[in-house]
Structures are given as C-alpha cells and as structure tokens.
Amino acid sequence: MLKHIVMWKLKDHAEGNDRATNARLLKEKLDRCAAVVPGILKFEVALAQPGLEATYDAVLYSEFTDAAALEAYSVHPEHEAVKGFIGAVRSERQCMDFIV
C-alpha cells in the first residue's frame, strides 16, 4: 500500500476569492476525485479548523493499492483540473509518499 499526503497553504486572495472560500472550493474539487480510478483505498480532505493547531490550510490524506494506482490518479482529467485550481490559489505545498 502507498500513502500519499499533501498539505497546502493558501494565498490570502486568489482567483477572485478570499482564503476561506478557496479552501472550501479546494475541498469540494478534491472530494470529487475520491473514486476516479481503481486502487484508491482511502481519500480524505480536511481543512484547518478554528481552535485546533494547523500550520497549513488544507490536507489530503490518501491511500492507494500501489504506485500504479497513484500514477493513474495523478494523470486523471478530474485530478488535472483540480491541480490547475490549486496551483493558482496555493502559496506553499508539501507532499510525502511512502510505502507501508
């Protein structure tokens, strides 16, 4: 199994929206990717919540059967569309993939 974790800090304003609006849009768009290819075992998108420690605005925690499933997800048109939006609204990105 391969775990894929990504975190984003968002710009204060981008694409005509404030940070909170873009965070909600990012989550909505990513949530639609949860089952776009076989091999996705787990797919959770969470946003920073008031009162809880968070150094980033959004996180994706996902599990794939293997690297081939992650690659299929990575190039899927639905994911490609989300990447364009995220690229426009993020100021920072951190990612880690690992096999368990």
Digit-coded pLDDT (tens) for 22-79: 999 999 999 999 999 999 999 999 999 999 999 999 999 999 999 999 999 999 999 9
Number of domains in the chain: 1
Residue 100 lies in a domain: no
In a domain, 44, yes or no: yes
Give the structural domain span for 39.
2-94
Q: Which of 74, 41, 15 has its CA nearest to residue 23?
A: 15
| pLDDT number for residue 100 | 95
Q: Check which CATH number belongs to the domain holding 23 and give it.
A: 3.30.70.100
20/58 Cα distance (integer angstroms): 10
